[in-house]
Homo-oligomer: A and B are copies of this chain.
Amino acid sequence: MKPRTRNGQDLLTPAAVVDRALMLADAEGLGAVTIRRLAHELDVTPMALYWHFASKEELLDAMADGLLTEMLAIAGPVETVPAGPWRQQLAALLDAQCTVLRAHPSVAPLVWTRNNLSDAALRLTERMLAVLRRAGFSPTDATRIARRAARMTTALVAVRAQFVDGDGDPDRVRDRLSALPIDEFPRVVEAAVALSGCDGPDEHYGLELVLAGIEAEAARLTPFSEPNPPPTPDRAPPQP
């Protein structure tokens, strides 16, 4: 329970390092997460971190995994499926994902880009697949949809995060757009206001768009509509 100490100083733990790294990333962007900087914040020599993580890459993996764990905590255990229609369950899962990602936007680019076989990642995929399988998708279809959905949500937040990073001035852009030759760029000039402003924080980052796409794919794949179509396994479980 209580952290082991040495010389009266608390010992460094990987979890503490990851926590601090996440704080740092949230506060000053992923670029501020530096071995030296992180070590300084933890009152420790840079090389001390290399006892717990083999490389910075591994540390980044751990950070990504931290987010996955948060998502899992929000989504709740596997048994806690609200038993509603599958679209709703799926929406809840993706929403949890978006919530966590939006809380740590600058870490988002890390999350589903590394193929994580960690416990949290596996449990999340398990949940996702469970929902989709129960909706009647075959394992391969469920996999494809799950993968795409996960990637889309993270991708949306990630792109947005990097975007905000390199963003320029707020309405300087609008002025430049409005000043364009109207005969060459009529639509751009017309939409200068909308184009220059970033979309409000209430927007779901296109989550509903992703969901709509999935529903459309669902309709295409399983013509029988809603309540519990028979599962259609297209591939036997892995050979023994």
The chain A residues found within 8 Å of chain B, CB to CB, are: 57, 109, 112-115, 117, 122-123, 125-126, 129-130, 133, 139-140, 142-144, 147-148, 151-152, 154-156, 158-160, 162-163, 165-168, 173-174, 176-178, 180, 184-195, 199, 206, 208-217, 233, 235, 237-238
- Which 10 pairs of residues, A with B, have the shortest CB-CB distance? A155-B155, A212-B216, A213-B213, A129-B187, A143-B194, A209-B213, A113-B162, A139-B191, A178-B238, A212-B213
Considering the chains assembled together, what is the distance between the CA atoms of A189 and B167 in angstroms?
A: 43
Q: Which residues of B contact A165 (CB under 8 A)?
A: 113
**Residue of A143, A177, A210 with most chain B CB atoms under a 10 A cut-off:** A143
Number of copies: 2
Name the residue of chain B whose CB is nearest to the CB of A132: B187
Residues of chain B lying within 8 A (CB to CB) of residue A123:
185
Contacts A117-B176, A199-B147: A129 and B209 contacting too (C-beta < 8 A)? no
Bound CA span A55–B39, Å = 29
Asked if B159 and A122 sit within 8 Å, CB to CB, the answer is no
B159 and A194 form a contact (CB under 8 A): no
Q: How far is the CA of A142 from the CA of B215 in the complex (A)?
A: 22
Smallest Cβ distance from A194 to chain B, in angstroms?
4
Write out the residue numbers on chain B whose beta carbons fall within 8 Å of the beta carbon of A186.
126
Please determine whether A159 and B113 come into contact, CB atoms closer than 8 angstroms. yes
- Provide the bound-state CA to CA distance between A237 and B156, in Å: 29
Output the nearest chain B residue to A125 by Cβ-Cβ distance.
Answer: B188
Is the Cβ of A195 less than 8 Å from the Cβ of B125?
yes
Given contact pairs A139-B187, A148-B206, a sample of 4 additional A-B residue pairs in the complex whose CB atoms are under 8 Å apart: A140-B194, A143-B195, A144-B199, A206-B213
Question: Please, could you name 9 A-B residue pairs with CB atoms under 8 Å apart, sorted by A?
Answer: A57-B166, A112-B163, A115-B166, A125-B187, A139-B191, A142-B191, A144-B194, A151-B156, A155-B156
Give every chain B residue within 8 A of A158 (Cβ-Cβ): 155, 159
How near does chain B come to A201, taking the closest CB pair, in angstroms? 14
Q: Which residue of B lies closest to A130 (CB)?
A: B187
